[in-house]
Structure 1
């Protein structure tokens, strides 16, 4: 007898309470919340999480709006669209996406500060006769 809780054509075993990947309107506690990974890596995140509406983030002028939408609703959409082993597995994967998103933000901030500060520093050094 086969396990009724194994998704067809899948190696992922799911719990009886796990409704991930079934596009159900009922989302378990601990799934909803902001996703930095979905916000910063919108189209890559969307492909990985089978949330293909996120590819609209590539469209000029509406991409940023869709990135915000994915940041707000992304975790919920990922739960509905992809089969996950458990809520713990889902949260673990989404946490990694968020960590990479925050790292990207920090690197971007450092890069912007450096792009502004370095030319100003070089100009200052030239003005005071250094170099």
Structure 2
């Protein structure tokens, strides 16, 4: 895909956890503003997945990266932070469910 006259290398295409989790901040930080559409209620449920999938391409098009290695180094930080945030969020949600379930079961046992 070519946008702004800049070819997107095949090796950078793919999922970006930073763009998925930190969509608005990631978008502003990478000078790509389509992730701001995640601020639209209900539409954002669909759009966060688009941002996660297309984020690398958008960042490459808008960025002034010398090469793919530099781009990957920058995005690796976003990816690590996004993935850890996702894992921690799922863990907290699971703990919440277990706690809620045990409270609910105690309530009905009385």
* Unaligned ranges ≥5, structure 2: none
Distance across 2 between alignment mates of 1:115 and 1:104? 16
Match among 51, 71, 90 for residue 109 of structure 1: 90
The answer as to 2:25 corresponding to 1:44 is yes
Bigger proportion of residues as helix? 2
TM-score with structure 1 setting the length: 0.70
TM-score with structure 2 setting the length: 0.82
| Structure exhibiting the larger radius of gyration computed from Cα positions | 1
Which residue is 2:81 aligned to?
A: 100
Deviation beyond 6 Å, 4+ runs, structure 1: 123-128
CA RMSD of aligned residues (A): 2.2
Which residue is 2:59 aligned to?
A: 78
Distance across 1 between alignment mates of 2:93 and 2:65? 37
